[in-house]
Amino acid sequence: MIYGVGIDLVKIDRMKDVVEKWGRKFLERVFTENEISYCYEKKNPYLSLAVRFAAKEALIKAIGSEIAVSLTDIEVINSLSGKPAIKANGKLGIFLKKRKIKQIALSLSHEKEYGIACVVLEN
């Protein structure tokens, strides 16, 4: 049964501007060290940062306003094949267990100027 659905769109240049303005302070507030490392291994780290930010926002929309979530409790990871997934840490992980969320489906995409993410929660 579907518990919630969320979608978010991020302009890649906006992510670049924010990172250039606030630097490491912003990155550490929003992303885990694993996410930062992964993104900066890419040719265009801002594209990867933007879709990960979109995924975090999409997950927050999917759970609604039931809980305040730290963005670093939401970690976008990739399987060996490259398929993205969400790892829920901290307070978010506890919340999802209590709500019996068994599956977090994640889809990421980007095209030129924008990155988009869709999250579906199933219980």
Query: Model pTM greater than 0.85?
Result: yes
Task: Name the catalytic one among 21, 43, 110, 112.
Answer: 110
- For residues 58 and 52, the answer to whether their CB atoms sit within 8 Å is no
pLDDT tens for the chain, 123 residues: list them.
Answer: 999 999 999 999 999 999 999 999 999 999 999 999 999 999 999 999 999 999 999 999 999 988 999 999 999 999 889 999 999 999 999 999 999 999 999 999 999 999 999 999 999
CA distance 52 to 94: 21
Known catalytic membership, residue 110: yes
Q: Is 56 a catalytic residue?
A: no
25, 56, 61, 83: which is the annotated catalytic residue? Answer: 61
Q: In this predicted structure, what is the pLDDT of residue 36?
A: 98
Q: Which CATH number fits domain 2-122: 3.90.470.20, 3.50.50.60, 3.30.465.10, 3.40.50.2300?
A: 3.90.470.20
Distance CA(117)–CA(53), nearest Å, equals 9
Where are the chain's structural domains? 2-122
